[in-house]
Amino acid sequence: MSKETQEGITVKKEENFSEWYTQIIQKADLADYSKVKGCMVIKPNAYFIWEQIQDYFNKRLKLLKVRNAYFPLFIPESFFQKEAEHAQGFKPEVAWIEKEEEGERLAVRPTSETVIYDSYSKWIRSHRDLPLRINQWANIVRWETKATRLFIRTREFLWQEGHCVYETEEECDKEAVQFLNEYKKLCEDLLAIPVITGKKSEKEKFAGAYYTLSIESIMPDGRALQMGTSHNLAQNFSKSFNIKFLDQSGKEKLPWQNSWGISTRLIGALAMFHGDDKGLVLPPKVAFSKIVIIPILFKETEEKVLKKAKEIENKLKKYNPILDDRNYSPGWKFNEWELKGTPIRLEIGPKEIDKKQVVLVRRDNNKKEFVKISSITKKIEESLEDMQKNMLEKARKEMQSKVVKVSSFAEFQKAIKGKKAVLVPWCGLRKCEEEIREKSDGAKSINMPFDQPKDLKEKCFNCNDMSLGLWYFAKSY
Amino acid sequence: MSKETQEGITVKKEENFSEWYTQIIQKADLADYSKVKGCMVIKPNAYFIWEQIQDYFNKRLKLLKVRNAYFPLFIPESFFQKEAEHAQGFKPEVAWIEKEEEGERLAVRPTSETVIYDSYSKWIRSHRDLPLRINQWANIVRWETKATRLFIRTREFLWQEGHCVYETEEECDKEAVQFLNEYKKLCEDLLAIPVITGKKSEKEKFAGAYYTLSIESIMPDGRALQMGTSHNLAQNFSKSFNIKFLDQSGKEKLPWQNSWGISTRLIGALAMFHGDDKGLVLPPKVAFSKIVIIPILFKETEEKVLKKAKEIENKLKKYNPILDDRNYSPGWKFNEWELKGTPIRLEIGPKEIDKKQVVLVRRDNNKKEFVKISSITKKIEESLEDMQKNMLEKARKEMQSKVVKVSSFAEFQKAIKGKKAVLVPWCGLRKCEEEIREKSDGAKSINMPFDQPKDLKEKCFNCNDMSLGLWYFAKSY
């Protein structure tokens, strides 16, 4: 038997979340650092998750009459400058290339509003061209100066960005909310990640937007993670990019626009939520191999057991099972696949063969069951389904346990120091937010959730002005 | 009725192929130029074709045990320099970014061998890690100095690149051929494009490769288009990137590698082959909307006809039909959808309703048929299938008509001047190729097809040395 050393996660999730996260991403073969600082290699296990996100979302996009397209990686400097707030917001993060075009610098896209809307200004002429709904899947570069973290903040990442154009404010508004709700559905259905939908504050909205909606989660360490945004851009960009259309009566008008995106950051959120001290736990829907089969081998019965294990492997082909017949001990293999997050482990040895059964162990709750081989497909289907559901419920409870409702600044301060997120009545004003940020050692507004109490009478917890509603505040990624 | 002007293709394919191509790509809404010279916008109609290529190929990759991953866009300069030929070959085309990492310049990837093999050198330890088969779908930047042409030669394009590592030369060789054959299958089955599979000459092989295989087609203007390549890299990169593995007996060895790619160039080839003077013709398998329904409207029967047209639209949902009920004349609409390449047109007016039928017109051969509404789904299925097959046959015949078998340099010269590709006995030597290129005003070797006559005795048509076999030569894109 080989004696290669095996190293699991060496820190506890509760004790050192940050180090635990770094280890789990690398040891579960999700991603690796690259020689270029802040850039990552997305390994097959994680890229498969991204493909599941793409498949899921592309199906929804088709129903919503959004079509995919692809726009250039490079953006001329003059495009950026057309929308002043946008230019200002992205300036520090842009990577420029050395080549110039007609004396102009070219940026590697940090987001594509400007290059896409330059095309839209040529394509849109009449109300018949609207609504125009286009999405692209692309790589994005933001030259972060903050410390990077795999999936959560890297200088290059993958995302989708949707860019729609409408005749009226009403349609634009309605669909900005609709796309955000699609993100929520995706996170919950596919990734088993609970999210909060709401509106960002003036200070935290997208550079150039009228307003920004977001999906957010509170991670197990009490910090918030923004996982997707949907911006109503009003007519800000149609004005600066000269996008105009003739309405039904022949009048020239400026259209309304929204843009919305989710990224590979979701994979980081998934690992944060579902991992434990033994390793990753993959929601069944995004696991490439949903099952690992471990034969329990003894000299005399080895042949018989391997034969049966192969039969089971063939029977379960649609789950991309791994038959781990390598020359390691069963315990070594258990650890390995727990680290990688494989949803279901099947163990089969001579005793099991005699009883025409296998041992089934679920990764999410570690429960062990004996299952008759004759009914194995049905049992696996049920277990995977139950596991997917169970993981979302568990994550939701965990998230709720990290949030405290408070009313005063003192309570706020105490909660943030105790690594909690807070829900608090707040005025929403930029000046007040800046003050809070300084006083509270970095907590910022997350969003004002759509879901609000009916008759909130509390004043702003900080400035005692009128409150807009309850807001989430937290330290954030 | 609206009187918007409509402009089809204004030149004939036979008379001015280059201008015809430029018009068809833009007027059929496949792509558009961007403000950044040489970069393109891939519009939804073309991006859909790319997605069909991805879907088709991803399914094949899964069967061949290749997994998808994603590597960084940026490559440190020192990586390039590790493999000397590779560095030399790509040097003129690299776009560098202004940011530096530890004093090193960063390139925007022109291909990813170097950045991927740096990771492989960390991942591969033992024979148990091999074969390693990874593919990525990515954008690529090559700062072309030649004139650009939408899809055929742009500074940024989309592609897939596969990168495999093997214990032995034998496996590496076998799979390099296998992946090329997969490309052939994809081109023929999905895009109805006939291709020639063969080996590139020493002069034309990939920078850093041991040998390069390619799929090529001869376009209607007699010029060759390289559409995909598969390189056996031997141990050239494993040597320079220090990729080593311990074999079964515990000895340290250098593995063998291959890499292979196809790009959005395939979309250009599709348009070149299948377009005609009226516009694009889309192979049914890659058409987003496979059917357009044109109601023939008169005042008295308008309501009845529209109602029936909608019924048919609903019945044919799975083909993403377009019901064109806009306020234009039927003839205007016919032209529009012929320009866009929609495979099947259905016409329905009051006469057709009385006879419970529709008129079905195929885009590839312009044939008109009356079809009973009751059997319409079956008929459409058959027509689409037949059309797909017919397009490949037609393209194959056209390609064959562009090739002449010659034996002497005089015949070669005459054929190239007459806008043909040639098949000719040749020695394969670099020096001889350089000489031919100068003398023949730019014709170069395309490949030596796998399919060779059994007992070729002819000498090299240029230097009269021993010939390696019959080779294709042509002017090329």
Q: Which helix (H) or strand (E) holds A215?
A: strand A211-218
Q: What number is the average pLDDT over the span A378-402? A: 98
Question: Phi-psi category of B188—alpha, beta or left, where left has phi over 0 and alpha has psi -120 to 50?
Answer: alpha
Q: Which range is least confidently modeled, A35-39, A210-214, B199-203, B427-431?
A: A35-39
DSSP state of B147: P
Nearest to B127 by CA among A47, A327, A164, A131: A327
- Chain A residues in contact with B99 (beta carbon < 8 A): 95-96, 143
Q: Which long-range contacts (CB under 8 A, 24 or more apart) does B51-56 make?
A: B51/A68, B52/B190, B52/B285, B52/B286, B53/B186, B53/B190, B53/B191, B53/B262, B53/B266, B53/B286, B54/B137, B54/B160, B56/B186, B56/B189, B56/B190
Specify the pLDDT at position B4. 55
Amino acid identity, position B456: L
Q: Which of B50, B68, B118 sits opposite A35 (nearest CB)?
A: B118
What pLDDT does residue B146 have? 84
Three-state DSSP class for residue B186: helix
Q: Is residue A309 a contact partner of residue A248, using CB atoms and an 8 Å limit?
A: no
Question: Which residue would you say has higher pLDDT here, A103 or A85?
Answer: A85
Sheet holding B322-323, edge to edge: B322-323, B291-295, B344-348, B357-362, B368-372
Point out the residue among B44, B76, B96 whose CB comes nearest to the CB of A68.
B44
Rounded to two decimals, what is the model's pTM?
0.96
State yes or no: pLDDT of A152 exceeds 70: yes
Interface with A, mutate which of B62, B97, B120 (most A CBs under 10 A): B97
Residue B271 DSSP one-character state? H
Q: Across all residues in chain A, what is the average pLDDT?
A: 95
Contact A39 B96 (CB under 8 A): no
Minimum CA–CA partner of A76 in chain B:
B36
CB pairs below 8 Å between A and B: how many? Answer: 130
User: What is the mean pLDDT of each successive set of 10 residues along chain B, which is 477 residues long?
Assistant: 68 97 97 91 98 98 97 94 89 87 88 96 96 98 90 97 98 98 98 98 95 98 97 97 97 98 98 98 98 96 96 96 95 96 98 96 97 97 98 97 96 96 96 93 95 91 95 97
**From A62, which residue of chain B is nearest by alpha-carbon distance?**
B320
Q: What is the pLDDT of residues A250-291, one digit of tens each?
A: 999 999 999 999 999 999 999 999 999 999 999 999 999 999
Task: Retrieve residue A202's tokens.
Answer: 């003036």
Which domains are seen in chain A, by residue range? 17-274 (3.30.930.10), 291-383 (3.40.50.800), 403-474 (3.30.110.30)
Structure ipTM: 0.96
pLDDT tens digits along A339-355: 999 999 999 999 999 99
Per-residue pLDDT, averaged over A428-447, amounts to 94
B26, closest residue in chain A (CA to CA)? A123
Mutation for B interface: A35, A105, A319, most B CBs within 10 A: A35
| Element spanning B41, H or E | strand B40-42
Neighbours of A434 (CB within 10 A): 12
The chain A residue lying nearest B30, using CA atoms, is A69
Distances (CA, A) of A75 to B99, B191, B303: 16, 32, 49
What is the distance, to the nearest Å, from the Cα of residue B440 to the centroid of all Cα atoms in its chain?
27
Write out the DSSP string of A152-199.
TB-SEEEEEEEEEEESSHHHHHHHHHHHHHHHHHHHHHHH----EEEE
Give contacts of A138 with chain B, Cβ < 8 Å: 139
Say which range, A49-58, A366-375, A450-459, has the weakest mean pLDDT. A450-459
Give the pairing of strands B132-141 and B67-68. parallel
Which residues on A lie below 8 Å from B81 (Cβ)?
none
pLDDT, residue A1, reads 42
Q: Give the pLDDT confidence score for residue A37 in this predicted structure.
A: 85
> What span, in angstroms and rounded, lies between the C-alpha atoms of A447 and A212?
9
Q: Mean pLDDT across the stretch A172-193? A: 98
What backbone torsions phi and psi does residue A36 show, to the nearest 5 degrees?
Answer: -80, 115
In this complex, the residue of A42, A108, A326 whose CB is nearest that of residue B69 is: A42
Which of B49, B73, B242, B246 to substitute to test the interface with A, most A CBs within 10 Å? B73
**Is the predicted pLDDT of residue A2 greater than 70, yes or no?**
no
Which two three-digit tokens encode residue B274? 């299948």
Q: Token digits for A73?
A: 């990686």
For residues A85 and A473, which has the higher predicted lDDT (pLDDT)? A473
B-chain CB neighbours of A119 within 8 Å are: 32, 34, 41
In whole angstroms, give the CA distance from residue A47 to residue B164.
17
Query: What is the rounded CA–CA span in Å between residue B9 and residue A372?
Result: 67
